[in-house]
Chains A and B, each alone.
Chain A
Amino acid sequence: MAKRKPIIIDGEVRVIESEQKLQDILPREVGSIVTTEGALITRDRFDRVPIPDGFETNLSTINKGGGAL
């Protein structure tokens, strides 16, 4: 049986299976809006993105329209 190994994440000691990789245990960035999967991203996910101080936000709205109906 494979040995378990201790690791420290943000000061917290955790014991994991030896074959586990960091990507298996780190929490996923659930708030990220960047995805290559094509999943729909909801409004609240965008709302949670922290806007840095001094960020030049876009003040005008985005309007698209076919106008052919």
Chain B
Amino acid sequence: MTMHTASATAFSSNPLKLRVGASVWNRWQAHHLAQGKRVESLSYAFAHASVLPDSTIVCIGDTNPVIMLAPDCFERRSGGALRLRGSVLNGLLVEFARSSFNCLVNIHDHWFANVPRFSAIDDSDDLSFDRYLRERFEPMLKSRPDIGPDRPIFNLSVVLGQQGLDARMVAVGQPAHGACFAPAVRAAAMGANWLPLQLPHQSPAVPHGEAEAVTALHLRHQDFLTGADRERLAGLSVGVAGCGGLGSILAEALARMGVGRLVLVDDDKLDLSNLNRWQGGRLQDVGLSKAGLLAKQIRAMGLGTKVEAVELPIYSDDAKAALAGADIMVGGLDNDEARWFLNKLSLQYLVPYFDAGVKVESAGAVDFKSRYFAVFPGTSSCLDCNGFTLFDRQRTLQAYMNPALAQERRAAGYVEQAPETKAPSVYPLNLQAAGTLMTELVNFVTGWRPTATVSSTSWRNGFKRADRANFPEPAGEECPSCSHLLATGSSEPLAGPCTQSAVSADGLCPNSI
């Protein structure tokens, strides 16, 4: 399976996931649902839609064009209906045609409803506009490249209510799919906290494992997790990139905290040398896939966690799609090239990314260090623009393009000055790093206190934590990653580090960093 830049037709019956930047969401709220407002409004946004093997993701980032229409843009407007002026729509269509975006989003409100549903008038309007897109707009782009780039156009319709929204992809004449609407199954706003958006027909997510185990889980958590918190955790899908010493602890911890669905990605097999730190590893498991084994162990816990194992490199198409489709990504990785890759994936698909790592300094005064960072796409700084030095940018990018250097860096492991002991038993250190990450991830979901974007622990120098209150570093306007990649989805290439086989005879790597 491959990740498509655009489908031949701009429709997929895949589940639709809508991700909206926090500032876009706030603007929609202020414009459409202002207190005292008593008339319907309409606005538009330009976005990127990405068709993945098992979902279609629409990302509307904080830097995407968001077009709010003034009252004089309407022929008429009332509490329960509106009609847009033709000249306004056509001016907007000219601008959209010129752009590189493939998804035109119309947003209106049912300000009088809590969780709204599309009306029969909305149905008729969406289908009528979609006929125009299929029969006239797309053919025009195909024949007139001077007007705008030829591409299939995704037609997304959103209706907002006071406590939620409904959203659907529209496409007429899709007999293969037997439907003209593909409703959204997930919607979330991306900020410094997890904000799932309520959709109609969405039942509360509750753990549904063996009743006795789930009841025990609830009883133990209820003192610090409310029912709403537990529901949010149960509704979460978390992608775990890397299922080694750290990732195996993280995956088990996520399940025990009540996260509903896990996607475990790792192509490695359990080695005898891993048993000093791999969570739950036994001698008879040596040689088995780490992701597969971990999935089996978590299912056996009986907490009802849905677990999928992707026994492939994180750079493979299936792994990329699985991670992009998750609500949150967690990295339990052993190299900065992989972190660079996940940082890009996080920005492109608006997936909050939590990462932890450990390091042992053995020369001179021995020290044990762990480090945590998180990326809230569009809201916080990313790995590339963080004010703290989280990695050696130059060496990492060199290694990204140079397989020999990457191999050399990975061989050094996480023990500085003594690469020959690259994989010591760092189980306690991994527990510490995983504990920090898990606390911040649950904090992100529950909103107990401002979430940390960076923290570090040194056995000798103590614990330091930078959070959204004391270090509110925003996404960098001049950051080459944040400014270029945010919410671009599959419209931007997402290549992993260069492999030896891909390097050309003159030593050049075709991949983009």
Interface extent on A, as a size class?
Answer: 35 or more
Chain A, range 33-54, C-beta contacts under 8 Å to B: 33-36, 38-43, 45-52, 54
With a CB–CB cut-off of 8 A, which chain B residues contact A41?
67-70, 73
B40 and A46: CB pair below 8 A? no
Which residues of B are found within 8 Å of A67, using beta-carbon distances?
Answer: 80-81, 119-121
A69 to chain B, nearest CB (A): 4
A27 at the interface (CB under 8 A from B): no
Total interface residues in chain B, CB < 8 Å? 60
Contact with A along B67-84 (1 / 0, CB 8 A): 111101101000111111
| Contact flags B1-40 to A (C-beta < 8 A → 1, else 0) | 0000000000000000000000100010011000000001
Contact B119 A58 (CB under 8 A): no
Q: B125: which of A36, A55, A62, A66 is its contact (CB, 8 Å)?
A: A62
Complex CA–CA separation, A34 to B40 (angstroms): 22
Does A59 sit at the interface, judged by CB under 8 A? yes
Docked pose: A69 CA to B113 CA in angstroms? 10
Contacts of B94 in A (CB 8 A): 49-52, 55
Stretch of B128-136, B330-338, B384-392, B448-456 contacting A (4+ beta carbons < 8 Å): B128-136
**Residues B88 and A46 in contact, CB atoms below 8 Å apart:** yes
Question: B124 — which chain A residues lie within 8 A by C-beta?
Answer: 63
Query: With an 8 A cutoff between CB atoms, is A61 at the interface?
Result: yes
Nearest B residue to A42 via CB reads B70
CA distance A35 to B89 in the complex (A): 16
Contacting residues, chain B, for A36 (C-beta < 8 A): 62-66
Contacts of B97 in A (CB 8 A): 55
CA distance A64 to B40 in the complex (A): 8
CB pair A69–B79 under 8 Å, yes or no, is yes
Interface string of B94-119 (1 = CB under 8 A from A): 11010100000010101011001001
A20 within 8 A of B: no
Taking CB atoms, residues of chain A closer than 8 Å to B428 are none
Q: Is B228 an interface residue when CB atoms closer than 8 A count as contact?
A: no
Most-contacted residue by chain B among A35, A40, A50, A63 (CB, 10 A)? A63
Q: Does A56 contact B (CB under 8 A)?
A: yes
Stretch from B140-148, B173-181, B191-199, B364-372 contacting the other chain: B140-148
A46 touches B92 (CB 8 A): yes
Distance between A5 CB and nearest chain B CB, rounded to angstroms: 22
Chain A residues in 8 Å Cβ range of B113: 66, 68
Q: A61 to B83, alpha carbons, bound, how many Å?
A: 7
Decide: A58 and B132 in contact? CB cutoff 8 A: yes
| Inter-chain contact A68/B110, CB cutoff 8 Å | yes
A67 to B79, CA, bound (A): 9
- A33→B121 contact, CB < 8 A: no
For the complex, what is the distance from the CA of A43 to the CA of B75, rounded to whole Å? Answer: 11
**B69 surroundings in chain A (CB, below 8 A):** 40-41
Least CB separation from B63: chain A residue: A36
Task: Report B-chain residues with C-beta under 8 Å of the C-beta of A34.
Answer: 46, 65, 67, 95, 99
> Given the complex of chains A and B, what is the CA–CA distance between A55 and B98 in angstroms?
11
Contacting A at CB under 8 A, from B444-500, are none
Contact: B87 with A66, CB < 8 Å?
A: no
Chain A positions within 8 Å of B416 at CB level: none
Contacting A63 at CB < 8 Å: which of B31, B46, B82? B82
Q: A59, B86: Cβ atoms under 8 Å? A: yes
Q: How far is the CA of A24 from the CA of B69 in the complex (A)?
A: 28
A42 CA to B85 CA in the complex, in Å?
Answer: 11
**A34-B67, A57-B93 as given contacts; A62 in contact with B80, CB under 8 Å:** no
Is B507 interfacial (CB-CB < 8 Å)?
no
Once bound together, how far apart are the Cα atoms of A55 and B95, in whole Å? 12
Assuming the contacts A56-B140, A68-B110, asked whether A62 and B146 have C-beta atoms less than 8 A apart, the reply is no
Contact A47 B119 (CB under 8 A): no
Starting from the known contacts A56-B136, A66-B119, 7 additional A-B residue pairs (CB-CB under 8 Å) come to A36-B65, A38-B27, A55-B97, A55-B140, A60-B129, A61-B83, A64-B82
Question: What 5 A-B pairs come out closest when comparing CB atoms?
Answer: A46-B91, A65-B121, A49-B91, A65-B81, A38-B27
6 A-B contacts, Cβ less than 8 Å apart?
Answer: A38-B66, A38-B68, A49-B91, A52-B144, A55-B97, A58-B89
